[in-house]
Chains A and B, each alone.
Chain A
Amino acid sequence: MFEPDPIPGKRLLRIRLNGRWREDAVADDQLLVDYLRETAGLTGTKTGCDGGECGACTVLVDDDPVPSCLTLAVRCEGRSVETIEGLGAGGRLHRLQRAFHEKLGAQCGFCTPGMIMAAEGLLRRCPDPSEAQIRAALAGNLCRCTGYVKIVESVRAAVQAGT
């Protein structure tokens, strides 16, 4: 079978992914979302749109929630990237994961990883947010199932549950 030429211009990317340093050869044009899904095999981060319109790909870069479809992977050199798979430790659910599960913050679940990462970014900056702050922080993450009612409830429940 025909094999394509190796991709020119790859460079070594060293990032701290979910707490562990790793190195990969990455092309300059690779988006962070594709790096996560295809190179690192972390498919929890979703693609829901044609670029920057839905928030399903939200991950934390140095604690800041950003759409990974608007970020070149190579620009994360030396930085910490956290995805939904990095939340929770030792098989235990993170408080946001538990709250989204128990309060039905996730229905179809497709927006959920991005939504939880956006919420986690908020709670790291602002441990006890008001409802208005929760809604503002999630305003770039579209959900088609819940009307956001149980998403907001889930974030509040996570706050109440503490760390």
Chain B
Amino acid sequence: MTQLAGARAGVPLIDGIDKVTGRARYTADLDHRGALVGRILRSPCSHAQILRLDVERARRLPGVVAILTGEDCRVPYGVLPIAMNEYPLARGKVRYRGEPVAAVAAIDAETAALALSLIELEVHELPAYYEADQARAADAVRIHDDKPGNLEREVHHSFGDVAAGFATADLVRETVIDCAEVNHAQIEPHAALAEFDPSTGRLTMQSVSQVTFYLHMMLARCLEMDESRIRVIKPFVGGGFGARVEVLNFELVTAMLARTAGGKVAMELTREETFITHRARPQTRIRMKLGLGRDGRLRACECEVVQRGGAYAGYGVITILYAGSLLHGLYDLPAVRYDGYRVYANLPPCGAMRGHGSVDTRHAFELLLDRMARELGLDPFEVRRRNLLHAPTRTLNELAINSYGLAECLDRVEAASGWRTRRGRLPRGKGLGMACSHYVSGAAKPIHWTGEPHAVVNVKVDWDGSVTAFTGAADIGQGSSTMVAIAVAETLGLPIEQVRVIAADSATTPKDNGAYSSRITFMVGNAAIDAARRLRTLLTEAAARRLERDPADIDCTDGRFRSLSAADQGISFTDAVKAALVDQGTLTVKGTFTCPPEAQGGKHRGGAVGSTMGFSYAAQVVEVSVDEDTGRVSVDRVWVALDCGFAINPLAVRGQIEGAVWMGMGQALMEETRYLNGMPAHASLLEYRMPTSLDSPPIDAMIVESIDPNGPFGAKEASEGALASFAPALAAAIADAIGVDLDVLPATPDRVLDAVIARRRRERLDALAGGRR
């Protein structure tokens, strides 16, 4: 063992130096010489028929090179093969304010802006719906002709005997929780750079994507081009969190402009446009009902979720399925009924965001469980402990669970936070709360089923002894390329410095499904190990030949191939490579990973969503101070433990846990995207309030290693699982601090103040009632 042995602090990111020196080139930093400037005209209306879209004046403006409208977009796109209902530029109808309707490429930004102002749009406005219940009303106009009731998808799942479960429960409670829509708000605004060479018919696309393969496929589809004529390269990407896990309209538009112009087009969106592009967590209403025994055992769960999904499908079907399927897998639940409704509305389309689908329902579940524990006089930790799973097992909805470290997570945060001695003993206005969460390590069934492996990694070794791993996996800051380097180096017994990683360039790297559902460590990690093992076998055989020993007698550690039986017999890694190259030349080996069918979920409709090779588990304790006069909630400290199987890079794992907890805090405390008649009201980093350094607490991140039997070195995911437990832990802490139960997120000062006022009114009424008795 090289990197993974002993007390491991972890390793810095292999591309870290580029980032700290400013050398890292993000999309907007690429060579823009000779590039035309792309700009998008956006709909001023929420819902309207396009009567006339006249681009002739704009076309005649000197300096305008290409101009496109929906008429030029013949093929719809969308991330799910079953729900492609969006065009790069609106065709016939606009469905939200800010939807792209036309695009120009011009010699400079000023000309492009002027051209947009010369485009004439005439519409017939239709009724617009900004809330799910309006959109679902019986007399509502359809946003999409094929979707009556403006329902994108409804889900009805029932497992176990729910009625019997509630009948045997000692306490049954039901609550309605509202969670605001939030946004990824990665710091890098959206951008794309496309170059079309008319002489060869080739398109080169560089973009902020997390899913370069999907982008490649969707470019071919929407531009009606041969896939082989397209090259997609991922530059440095300034965060994603799900914002870029589906192909986005501006990417397609940029490529179409480049082809029409026959050249290079640079598109940089404003922060406002980046927000409007959206694809984040929807506004969600959850009706949660739980049945609990006096013994703390969960007896039944009934959950109804309504998500306001925005104007197009995107990942919506998956989001509403995740919201139900991930009710399972955290605790031992004997009966679960789930009803989910994904609703269209005339707002920017929602999509996947860190903790995809699970966050808001987990919040409602944990928060209700906390309240019920209180009612029964049970400690919140104890209630969780009485409902633990035991791996290996399968949930009611056929999710496989092969490793489960939640019990240890609970122990760790309980001890670290001083829960037993401090809870209930803090001064008024201060409180402690806890909650748990989990997340998948990669969706076990890919979105585009082709029969290919789930991940492929190539490893090349050449005459100079250098090892290069080629992966299509998109490193967007999470450190996936570093993970690949460690996996390969470790397997070959080399220091990490000897391994180079080339990532996400379709001309050189194998196809990869991309950075979503926390799949890379598990799937790409396993594929990288597989490739490195194959290479090790070849090198071992070569070393054995050179040493005239049996390959079984050769061990590969610390950069040498040694005989096990004769310790003095050995050759260096480079000499082994040279031996292996004889008669063969440069070696390239391929490793793959495939999720077995039994890991791919139940046979019921939508049963694949939520299925995974391994769940991460998290428990956290949040300490708050609440100001009852102003409604301000301050998070003083967080203790969090995450079971990530095995921490391949503990430094990066801690970074991911801290980031996930903090992002959960933003959503819980202050982030939201509201609309004023469909106009975005939070489309800036001023109005979209993500916490600053002064709002952010110390986070004590602890790693629990359950060692998953199938994970690479036993690893599972580390970047999403800890997010969803923040908000319910915060709500529990607020309840502990000031005796107020919040039914809404985020816990902004006005909402907390409302709840305080309601509590005071209740207390007055109770006092009056008491006086009368």
Are A143 and B13 also in contact (CB < 8 A) when A43-B22, A49-B271, A108-B239 are? no
Pair A106/B659 contact, Cβ less than 8 Å: no
Cα A138 to Cα B63 with chains together (Å): 42
Are A141 and B12 also in contact (CB < 8 A) when A45-B22, A109-B20 are? no
Tell me if A60 is interfacial: C-beta within 8 Å of chain B.
no
- Bin chain A's interface residue count: 35 or more
From A4, A50, A113, A147, B63 is in contact (CB under 8 Å) with A4
From B238, B652, B696, A147 is in contact (CB under 8 Å) with B696
A35 CB → nearest B CB, Å: 15
Q: Residue on A with the closest CB to B698?
A: A149
Q: Residue on B with the closest CB to A134?
A: B693
Chain B CB within 10 A, most for which of A54, A138, A145, A152: A145
Interface string of A44-61 (1 = CB under 8 A from B): 111111100110100000
Pair B187/A143 contact, Cβ less than 8 Å: yes
- Bin chain B's interface residue count: 35 or more
Pair B659/A145 contact, Cβ less than 8 Å: yes
A105 CB → nearest B CB, Å: 8
B residues 679-716 touching A (CB-CB < 8 Å): 684-686, 690, 692-694, 696, 698-699, 701
Pair A101/B17 contact, Cβ less than 8 Å: yes
B residues 221-274 touching A (CB-CB < 8 Å): 236-239, 241, 270-272
From A3, A46, A93, A135, B21 is in contact (CB under 8 Å) with A93
Are A145 and B188 also in contact (CB < 8 A) when A4-B111, A44-B22, A109-B24 are? no
Cα A156 to Cα B185 with chains together (Å): 27
Interface string of B53-78 (1 = CB under 8 A from A): 00000000011010000000000000
- Residues of A close to B694: CB separation below 8 A: 135-136, 139
From B185, B478, B698, B699, A107 is in contact (CB under 8 Å) with B478
Cα A50 to Cα B62 with chains together (Å): 28
Pair A110/B20 contact, Cβ less than 8 Å: no
Tell me if B29 is interfacial: C-beta within 8 Å of chain A.
yes
Cα A143 to Cα B659 with chains together (Å): 10
Tell me if A142 is interfacial: C-beta within 8 Å of chain B.
yes
B740 CB → nearest A CB, Å: 26
Pair A47/B189 contact, Cβ less than 8 Å: yes
Cα A106 to Cα B479 with chains together (Å): 10
Pair B16/A101 contact, Cβ less than 8 Å: yes
From B22, B110, B658, B662, A84 is in contact (CB under 8 Å) with B22
Tell me if A77 is interfacial: C-beta within 8 Å of chain B.
no
**The 6 residue pairs across chains A and B that have the minimum distance between CB atoms:** A44-B22, A108-B477, A147-B662, A109-B19, A110-B238, A84-B22
30 CB < 8 A contacts A-B: A1-B65, A4-B108, A4-B110, A43-B25, A44-B21, A45-B22, A46-B28, A47-B28, A50-B272, A53-B686, A84-B22, A93-B20, A97-B17, A101-B19, A104-B16, A104-B655, A106-B16, A108-B19, A108-B187, A108-B188, A112-B20, A113-B22, A142-B690, A144-B184, A144-B185, A145-B477, A145-B659, A146-B655, A148-B696, A151-B693
